[in-house]
Amino acid sequence: MDHNHEEKIEDSEIKSWKSKLIWSWIFTVPIAFIMLLERIFDLSIVEMPYQSILILILAFPVVFIFGWPTIKAGIRGLVTFYFNMDSLISLGTVIAYLTGLIAFTGVIQDYSGVAAMIMAFFTTGKFVEAQARGRSSQEIRKLLELGAKTARIVKGNKEYDIPITEVQVGDILLIKPGEKIPTDGVVIKGESSVDESMVTGESLPVEKAKGMNVIGATINQDGILYVKTTKVGKDTFLAHIIELVEEAQGTKIPIQKLADKITSIFVPVILILSALTFIGWAIVTGDISRSLGVGIAVLVIACPCALGLATPTALMVSSGMGAKRGILIRKGEAIQTMKEVKIVVFDKTGTITKGKPEVTDINTIKGIKEKELLNISASLEKLSEHPIARAIVNKAALKSYRKVTGFKVLRGRGVEGKIGKSIVIIGNQTLMKERKIKLEKINKSIEDFEEDGKTTMIVTMNKKVLGVIAVADSVKEDSKEAIRKLNSYGYRTVMITGDNERTAKAIANQVGIKEVIANVLPENKAKKVEELQISGMVAFIGDGINDAPALKQSNVGIAMGTGTDIAIESGDIVLVNGSLIGVVQAINLSKATFKKIKQNLFWAFAYNVIAIPLAVAGVLHPVVAEIAMALSSITVVSNANLLKKKKID
């Protein structure tokens, strides 16, 4: 995004339209008063033709100054044959204004005052729309407004209060109880609980200690924290959230593209209909002035403003609702696609589970001590970034590690390296089969561990088994509830994991997933998703780098906000707090939003279907037509905002 996230774009737009509205009516009210006296009471303020000149003068700024952006956009559309909703309004108002000049010949009636009224009503409608857009993104802007304005940095033994804009990466910040955390960072000293509800939607505070990350604008609760700044300004987590939501609000979903296509066809059809209406009335009545008024009414009433607003307003409200609950819609089309999803596919580690495994059991063969097994394993695993590797290293808690050479990560299977002259391999059964290592001595232990849903890492040296380490990753508290709801809604829930089938099924049984695809290598996840897509649209939920291809392959990729940046960038929807309840909320939000879009499109078309025949029949005066058109836009905007009252939890 090339604008400052802290700049309130909606406010500037609202102010602009409000200014145009006020000035338009300042000039239009006298015109309406003059026309009212003349048409109803047959009175004139000044003699003709001076009255017509006065109306032309008053109408000019309304049409060609305050309404100039609309006129310019409409003319551009007519010249380039890329018709839009402004084409009809601009043509209608310009033609109506020109009648005021031609009226001096005595051939037609003066509609220049009508031109000012049409543009004044149109401007009023635009102001209402701008206000609605501003309200729909309030939740996003509130996040920025709640950010800290100053920060307390520590240098040596002294503390300094500085503006938040002067904070740099690497600064040490001191945050006292009750204060806002100024920016993203990592705790280097102290313990406290932090209220992250404004970002994650989670009501309970999160415990923070040394080494843990904190997010800017969240609130420190009861302890003193020393935080080293890791991100500032536009790089912060909060700024990234705003950017993602803004992107979603600017995208067009398939039904919006369809509405745009309809508009591009609808406008020229109306132009032709308006011309035919004018010609038809002129032939039948011989009254050029009356015929022109009817033709202008057709142009004005047919303006598809409501059609153009139907989808964007609902999408903007939806994005705001999602952001409030920690659901970031990165791509607008996901809202439409989500309601068509039949299969919901989950990665296991970090998605269904917490992603923080711990060593639960160690079983060694005769002659090998547990301490020795951990020493060998941790020396190798220290060189890996995998969560299971970290669990083994944490369990060993060694002060010094053995020297390892030739270290290799065998993706989805394990690790390999040399300690001295011995080749050490640590991995799953798939890796052991590849290397033709026999497991008879520990098969029973492996089976028992895996029956309990634990992941087993077999440790070997020179193709001889030393023992097995069992690691377990606990299920997130709300995973079971989320999957229960999805099952009750009739979705087909599937787990895809690189873990063995026993471990995967044990976890699946805990949360209620009936279908498991296990032993899947990272590069094959996307292929498995593609195979599932034969049966219906697929939503894939994952958190790791290895999930990125599957997130892209799926019809809707849902990334856990607690996962890697690559996974988040690959997702169409991001769940900030990493809770699977967000999947249920996203589905419900999608259905509610699309229902609202369809309602909006119905109202947009209904107004035109009813009003255009009335305009062609000469029943609607151009000003009445403009009021009806403005009401259709207001109806659509108001209906979109009713989405906020919908329960999606």
**Active-site residue numbers?**
347
The type of residue at 124 is T
Q: Is the peptide bond before 613 cis (omega within 30 degrees of 0)?
A: no
563 CB-side CA count, 13 A = 30
Question: Could you give the angle at the alpha carbon of 403 between the alpha carbons of 397 and 407, nearest 5°?
Answer: 100
Say how far apart CA 47 and CA 61 lie, in whole Å.
Answer: 23
Buried b (16+ CB within 10 A) or exposed e, 46-56: eeeeebbebbb
Say how far apart CA 376 and CA 513 lie, in whole Å.
Answer: 37
Say how far apart CA 216 and CA 394 lie, in whole Å.
Answer: 29
Largest CA distance in the chain: 118
Torsion of CA 566, 570, 571, 577, to 10 degrees: 0
CA distances from 209 to 18, 68, 193, 608 (A): 50, 59, 9, 62
| CB count in 10 Å sphere of residue 532 | 22
358 and 550 in contact (C-beta within 8 Å)?
Answer: no
Strand-pair category, 158-163 with 192-195: unpaired
Say how far apart CA 286 and CA 614 lie, in whole Å.
Answer: 20
Question: Could you give the angle at the alpha carbon of 551 between the alpha carbons of 545 and 556, nearest 5°?
Answer: 155
**Helices then strands, each counted (H, E), the chain:** 23, 22
Say how far apart CA 171 and CA 188 lie, in whole Å.
Answer: 11
SS3 337: helix
Cα 314 off chain centre by: 13
